[in-house]
């Protein structure tokens, strides 16, 4: 009888696509612009609360722009992924880093998602759903063609891997 191969925790080798920095910055700018706009419009329309609402809008704008300038570059340095014949490895996070490994025998589905912003940046996200209670593993910020190829490769590997994915 063959013993199962050992899957060990190690840093994944692949970085996300460099365009992911622009995608993350755009998402952050949109997430900042919405509350700033709401606070500014309400502040302009509600006379007694104008000063503090405009101050709050300014504070949210400064905080949001600071996060937009800092975090996407940091995420690019931290986010890593790799697929081997044994497992999918993903490391994500900024302040709290998360390392996830999904053995091929546990993979249930592989999906590729491209939202409107991802399409604009020619990026895609590969979602690997497993039998884990922790949930799916997401590899974000991949070139859209690489994501499609990765989904095909994962499908082929999991088809050839013994196990029931439970």
Most distant CA pair in the chain, distance: 79
Cβ(138)–Cβ(127) below 8 Å: yes
Q: Is the pLDDT of residue 1 over 60?
A: no
Residue 132, C-beta contacts closer than 8 angstroms, at least 6 positions apart: 102, 106
Cβ(121)–Cβ(95) below 8 Å: no
Q: Provide the b/e sequence for 83-116 (b: ≥16 CB within 10 Å).
A: beebbbbbbbeeeeeeebbbbbbbbeebebebee
pLDDT at residue 93, rounded to an integer: 85
DSSP 8-state class, residue 86: S
Q: What is the pTM of this model?
A: 0.84
For domain 80-160, the CATH architecture is Roll (2.30)
Greater confidence (44 vs 30) lies with 30
Q: Each residue of 38-53: pLDDT tens digit?
A: 999 998 888 787 888 9
Cβ(144)–Cβ(123) below 8 Å: yes
Domain regions of the chain by residue span: 20-75, 80-160
pLDDT class of 17 with cuts at 50, 70, 90: very high
Q: Which of 71-75, 101-105, 123-127, 147-151 has the lowest mean pLDDT?
A: 101-105
pLDDT at residue 161, rounded to an integer: 78
């Amino acid at each position: 009888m063959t013993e199962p191969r050992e899957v060990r925790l190690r840093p994944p080798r692949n970085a996300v696509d460099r365009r992911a920095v622009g995608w993350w910055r755009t998402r952050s700018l949109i997430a900042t612009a919405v509350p700033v706009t709401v606070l500014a419009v309400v502040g302009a329309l509600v006379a007694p609360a104008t000063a503090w609402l405009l101050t709050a809008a300014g504070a949210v704008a400064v905080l949001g722009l600071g996060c937009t300038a800092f975090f996407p570059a940091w995420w690019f340095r931290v986010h890593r992924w790799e697929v081997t014949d044994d497992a999918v490895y993903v490391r994500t996070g900024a302040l709290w880093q998360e390392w996830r490994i999904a053995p091929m025998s546990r993979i249930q589905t592989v999906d590729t998602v491209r939202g409107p912003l991802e399409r604009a940046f020619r990026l895609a996200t590969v979602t690997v759903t497993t039998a884990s209670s922790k949930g799916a593993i997401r590899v974000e910020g991949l070139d859209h063609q690489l994501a499609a190829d990765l989904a095909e490769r994962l499908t082929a590997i999991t088809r050839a891997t013994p196990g029931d994915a439970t």
